[in-house]
Structure 1
Amino acid sequence: MATELERVRELVEPIASDLDLDLYDVERRSKVLRITIDTRAGSDDGISLDTLSLATRLISRELDHEDPISSAYTLEVTSPGLERPLRTPAHFQREIGKDITVRLTGHAVAEGESRRLDGKLVAADDTTATVLTTAGEERTIDIDAVDKARTVFDWSPKPKPGKGPGNTKNKQSKNPQKSNKEKQQS
């Protein structure tokens, strides 16, 4: 027999699919049932508030009709955000190529190794993930040994167009007369 969360997943997946979304996660914390939906893998766009609102109404109606949760709960339908948690093998597989931070469980760390990894996720399968650390070494970890992991978003400001190290335009002097005098002296 399916657990309550498995049943919720079965009910929500077709709704997400109809909206051209992925069901990212289903979790229950205390009295909150959190359903996390996301755009399809590879999409650069996020979920609009209108889409999130529509998904919430459809999911709420389906859960009210089917009543898969035996106790009282508060429904929360959300997106995973820019810095999204990585809890399942599918989460790791979806985020290959992105910067991540990982904290391993204490028993999973060999002597001399750090419990924390920061770097680029370069590979993932059903049991392991490989991280190219900021130190330049590849480290393969068991996903079951992950205490906490998430993607890392670069919050630094982006350079303005025409500014920055890639700009090769010749800068002209603000004083054109001086510029002309310099040309005559050459």
Structure 2
Amino acid sequence: MEEHNFELVDVEYVKEGTNWYLRVFIDKKGGITIDDCELVSKSLEKTLDKEDPIKNSYILEVSSPGLDRPLKKDSDFERYKGRIVDIKLYKAFNKKKEYSGELIGLKDNIVYIIDEDGNELSFNRNDIAIIRLAILF
């Protein structure tokens, strides 16, 4: 993947119904095309078939993380500074579990946003179930 400048965003291995899915989310500067997904899928299939790390059968899916991509890596918080994010917490804070606002950044494992009322809020990264880029209409 590195030779094509793809970034591995996330990997999921989940069971849905009777099928197992190995989902690989990739990104690159300028965005991902269907040809990129096909290239990575074929490359991964060869490696996975050779190494055989997953013994049961599964469906391999390769895609972009989407417009509402989750922020996982420290570099994501720098890359998307200034963008609107949606945050879901494990436990309620001020009687709410969901927040939205402009991403200010990440420092010392604390995520900072400015909410729609202009208040600066901070959340310990360990308290965040998921943080995603917001889709604005």
Q: TM-score with structure 1 length normalisation?
A: 0.64
Q: Is 2:12 aligned against 1:23?
A: no
Q: Is 2:129 aligned against 1:144?
A: no
In the alignment of these two chains, the number of paired residues is: 133
The structure, 1 or 2, with the larger RCO (C-alpha pairs under 8 Å, 6+ apart) is 2
2:40 matched to which residue of 1?
Answer: 55
* Among 58, 67, 78, the residue aligned to 2:63: 78
CA RMSD, 1 decimal? 1.9
Is the CA contact (8 Å cut-off) linking 1:93 and 1:125 kept in structure 2?
no
Higher percent of residues as helix: 1
Q: State the secondary structure of the residue aligned to 1:27.
A: strand
Is the CA contact (8 Å cut-off) linking 1:88 and 1:143 kept in structure 2?
no
Structure 2: segments with no counterpart, 5+ residues: none
Percent identity over the alignment?
A: 30
Q: State the secondary structure of the residue aligned to 2:112.
A: strand
* Among 88, 109, 112, the residue aligned to 1:130: 112
Q: Is 2:18 aligned against 1:36?
A: no
Q: Distance in 2 between matches of 1:29 and 1:93?
A: 29
Q: State the secondary structure of the residue aligned to 1:115.
A: strand
| Greater Rg over alpha carbons, structure | 1
Higher percent of residues as strand: 2
Q: Distance in 1 between matches of 2:89 and 2:101?
A: 14
Structure 1: segments with no counterpart, 5+ residues: 1-15, 156-186
Q: Distance in 1 between matches of 2:124 and 2:75?
A: 14
Give the superposition deviation at 1:140: 1.2
Give the superposition deviation at 1:72: 2.0
Is the CA contact (8 Å cut-off) linking 2:9 and 2:72 kept in structure 1?
no
Q: TM-score with structure 2 length normalisation?
A: 0.85
